[in-house]
Amino acid sequence: MFSPRQKWLIARARGERVLDIGFVGEHEPNLHMAIRQVNPGAKIIGIDLKRDQLRSLALPGTAVASAMALPFAAGSFDVVVAAEVIEHLSHPWPVFVQASRVLKTGGQLLLTTPSPYDLVRYCRHWLFAPRAFAEHNYRQFLGDSDHRAFSDPLSLCNQLAECDLKVMEMTTKHHHIPILARWVKALRLMDLPFYPFTRWGAYLCLKAVRQ
């Protein structure tokens, strides 16, 4: 079963040449396979730094490569997907530069990343946190141990614009209810696609077009 953010990506990842950046993860190989399935006959390329996992997947068109130095010619792709990638980096700017370079004019960057404005996350770790600067608090805020930083949506818009990537769509997904979600599994995949919940979800979903 795909999460709301994954469904959002799958519905938009259409093109003759698609690059999926950092697709090896706990759930992301399934997302990568779904992108392949909705683009029959297309050239789907996946890159990641996890050499052993790539070898075990044995998928065609996959390679060990860094998102900060993409080994592809300028204007090579119709779509670049970066699902849950930039939060693993202290500075995602080089990824945006590279994505812009390899996209054709009019090509799309599809990006998902945890939102610092998730209502539960914001309240728990900022608004009501007695010591917001305490290590246990900011590590819980960031979640996974290899998360480095979250990007606020408007700063992302500005950074992308400076790379000739114009944001055309931005929303949030995964609206969880504390405590209840522990007991009612359906609430873990809840999607409320209307304001103000489109600003309060746990995951930011963004589509930008190469100018």
> Residue 112 belongs to a domain with what CATH number?
3.40.50.150
- In the chain, DSSP finds a helix count (H) and a strand count (E) of 9, 7
Q: Is residue 129 part of a domain?
A: no
Residue 128 lies in a domain: no
Residue 173 lies in a domain: yes
Whether 102 is in a domain gets the answer: yes
- Dihedrals phi, psi of 27, to nearest 5 degrees: -125, -15
Instruction: Give the whole-angstrom CA distance, residue 186 versus residue 79.
Output: 31
Facing residues of 172 across strands? 204
The answer as to whether 131 is a domain residue is no
Q: Is residue 127 part of a domain?
A: no
Does a structural domain hold residue 137?
no
Q: How far is CA 24 from CA 49, 139, 167, 210, in A?
A: 9, 23, 26, 25
Model pTM?
A: 0.93
Average pLDDT, the chain: 92
Rounded CA separation 156/205 (Å): 11
Q: Is residue 121 part of a domain?
A: no
**How high is the pLDDT of residue 125?**
97
Residues 6+ apart with CB under 8 A from 25: 84
Boundaries of domain holding 10: 4-116+147-210
* Number of domains composing the chain: 1
d(CA 79, CA 163): 16
Do residues 165 and 106 make contact, with C-beta atoms less than 8 angstroms apart?
no
Alpha helices in the chain (DSSP H): 4-12, 28-37, 51-57, 93-102, 119-122, 135-142, 153-161, 180-183, 197-200
Does the bond joining 29 to the residue before it have cis omega, within 30 degrees of 0? no
Percent of the chain with pLDDT over 70: 92
Structure confidence by residue, pLDDT tens digits, 89-141? 999 999 999 999 999 999 999 999 999 999 989 999 999 999 999 999 999 99
Q: Express each pLDDT in 140-168 by its tens digit.
A: 999 999 999 999 999 999 999 999 999 99
* CA–CA dist 63, 42 (Å, integer): 17
